[in-house]
Amino acid sequence: MSEADRTPDDIKADIEHTREELADTAAALAEKADVKARAHEKVEETKARFTHKVDDAKAKVTGTADAAKQKASDATPESVATGAQQAAGTATTKAKQNPIPVSLIGGFAAGVVVGWIVWSRR
């Protein structure tokens, strides 16, 4: 269709179409120029990425800890574990029966630690 063959309705439709395209372009430019919104989007994106990495790290650490715990329990014979439990029980019973020697030993150990710290700071 040539320019001379266009009707006023065709011209009006063309103008309306051009206005819509211009409005879309202006809206896109306004969105790009909205620095605050873009900064907020970037913050949200970074938070989501960081949260994902933290979750992955937690899962990895938990899996590693569970594996180490399982290896330790597999490597420890039952007799050693039972013996250690019995020794701990015996030590606890003796400490409850004789609290003064245990307190003296604890106080001495605390004194040694405090003395060592004071000496090392000089």
Amino acid 95: pLDDT: 64
| Per-residue pLDDT at 97 | 72
65-110 pLDDT, tens digit per residue, is 667 667 666 666 666 667 667 776 776 776 667 677 767 777 888 8
Take residue 84 and report the two structure tokens written for it: 């250690």
In a domain, 37, yes or no: no
DSSP string, 18-69: HHHHHHHHHHHHHHHH-HHHHHHHHHHHHHHHHHHHHHHHHHHHHHHHHHHH
Residue 4 lies in a domain: no
Q: Is the dihedral of CA 94, 99, 101, 104 positive or negative?
A: positive
Q: What DSSP designation does 121 have?
A: T
The answer to whether residue 35 is domain-embedded is no
Structural domain includes residue 31: no
pTM: 0.34
- Is 44 within the bounds of a domain? no
Residue 98 belongs to a domain: yes
Q: How many domains does the chain have?
A: 1
Asked if 102 and 95 touch (Cβ cutoff 8 Å), the reply is yes
Domain-located, residue 58:
no
Torsion, Cα of 33, 38, 39, 44 (10° steps): 170
Domain membership of residue 122 (yes or no) is yes
- Structural domain range at position 92: 79-122
Residues 6+ apart with CB under 8 A from 31: 37
